[in-house]
Amino acid sequence: MADNSKKSRGAPFAPGKSGNPGGRPKLPPEVVHVREMARLYTEKAIIALVEVLDSDSAAGRVAAANALLDRGWGKAEQVLKGAGEDGSHVFTIIERRIVNAQD
């Protein structure tokens, strides 16, 4: 027979206790080293993207612009298709949130 009791929601751990007492696992040293080495080239990479932004290739300019904007301002929110709870389109709901955030 199946257990029909509902599991409790909310704080499953006692006060002062963590669900992950060891914390986030450490990355292997070689991963940390590769990341640190790559970060040394951040300025050069940005300069290269700006150079592509000024190139004749339309596809290259778009890719470079997207990369620069994503890193400088964060990736754009994804628009979802479908209807909202009140039957309005989700896009309209997102537009309202943007307008309200600007006020």
Tell whether pTM > 0.75.
no
Segment 53-82 mean pLDDT:
86
Q: Is the Cβ–Cβ distance between 63 and 52 less than 8 Å?
A: yes
Question: What amino acid occupies position 37?
Answer: M
Contact 94, 77 (CB under 8 A): yes
Q: pLDDT digit string (tens) for 68-96? A: 999 898 887 766 666 666 655 555 655 66
